[in-house]
Copies of this chain bind each other. A is one copy, B any other.
Amino acid sequence: MINTSFEQRTERRNRLIGLLRSETYWKTSDLREQLGISQRTLMRELAELKRAGYPIESERGRGGGIRLNGRWGVDRLQLSHHEVVELILSLAIMESLQSPLLTSNLKAIKQKLFQAFPQEQRSAVSNIRKRIMIGSNAGENIVSRYIAPEHALSECIAEAFLEQSCLEIDYQSESGEHTTRVIEAQYILLNWPIWYITAWDHLRESPRMFRIDRIKSARIVNGYFQLKPIEVFIGIYTPYYKSI
C-alpha cells in the first residue's frame, strides 16, 4: 500500500493520538497493529508528532515503549455525513436486534446524539436515513444459506448508494439465472442479517429488489441518479419496513 489520502491520514493521526491518550504506555508494535500500518510508517508519524510539539517520551530496550505526557486537547467532535449515517444505523440495528444486556435505552441515545449535530448536517443525513430501512429478522432457513458478500463488493455498493451513483451488477437470482444490469440503489433494506437493495432497474425499466448476497460483482458506472418518489416502490416492496 502506497500513499493515503489526506482524509485517511488525518483520521489516522487522530486515532493515534486517541490511542496514546487511552493508555499510559504503549509498545510501538502494538500501536502499529492497532492502526494497521508498518513499523516504519508509525515511527515516522511519531517523529512528526514530536516535531509538532507533542510531549512524547520513549524508552529503548527491553520493556521499552512510548508515552504521551500530560493532557492534550482534542478538537470538537466532528463526524462526516457518512460516519453519522453509520452511527445512527448501527444504533438502529442494535435496537432492532434486542440483545438482552445494556441495550434498552438505544432509542433515546440515538435521538440525543442526532440532535447534537448541527442542523445542516442533520438535514443532509436525514435524506439518507429515509432511504435506509430495517425490517424483521430473516427466517432461519434463509440465514442458514446466507453468505456475506466480500468486503470490496460491499464497499462498492455502499458508495453507490451514498453517492447516488449508478451501479452495474452481475446478479444471480434464486433460480440461478445470471444477468448483468445497471441499477439505481434508491433504498437499502435490512432483514437482519440480509441486506436488500430496492432499485430502479435500467434493464427492465422498473422497480426491482436485489439481495446483496446474490450480487456477484459490481462496479460504479458513469452517471448519477435522482431519487424517485416513494410511490414508485410502495405496495410492492416496502410496506413493512421502517426507516432509520
* Most chain B C-beta atoms within 10 Å of own C-beta, residue among A117, A132, A193, A195: A117
A53 interface neighbour in B81, B112, B126, Cβ under 8 Å: B81
Q: How far is the CB of A157 from chain B (nearest CB, A)?
A: 7
A79 adjacent to B6 (CB under 8 Å)? no
> Nearest Cβ distance between residue A160 and chain B, in whole angstroms?
11
Are A120 and B81 also in contact (CB < 8 A) when A148-B98, A193-B99 are? no
The reply to whether the CB of A9 lies closer than 8 angstroms to some CB of chain B is yes
Interface residues in A, total, Cβ within 8 A: 82
* Binary interface encoding of chain A residues 181-218 relative to chain B, with 1 for a CB under 8 A from any of its CBs, else 0: 00000001010110100000000000000001100000
A156 CB to nearest chain B CB (Å): 11
Given contacts A69-B118, A118-B69, A121-B55, contact A105 B93 (CB under 8 A): no
Q: Tell me if A180 counts as interface (CB < 8 A to partner B).
A: no
Taken together as a complex, chains A and B put the C-alpha atoms of A91 and B158 apart, in Å, by 19
Query: Are B76's CB and A103's CB within 8 A?
Result: no
B15 touches A77 (CB 8 A): no
Complex interface: chain B residues within 8 A of A90 (CB): 90-91, 94, 103, 106
- Judge if A234 is at the interface, Cβ distance under 8 Å: no
> Within the complex, what minimum Cβ distance (angstroms) separates A134 from chain B?
11
Within 8 A of B (CB), among A98-156: 98-106, 108-109, 111-121, 126, 132, 140, 144, 148-149, 151, 154-155
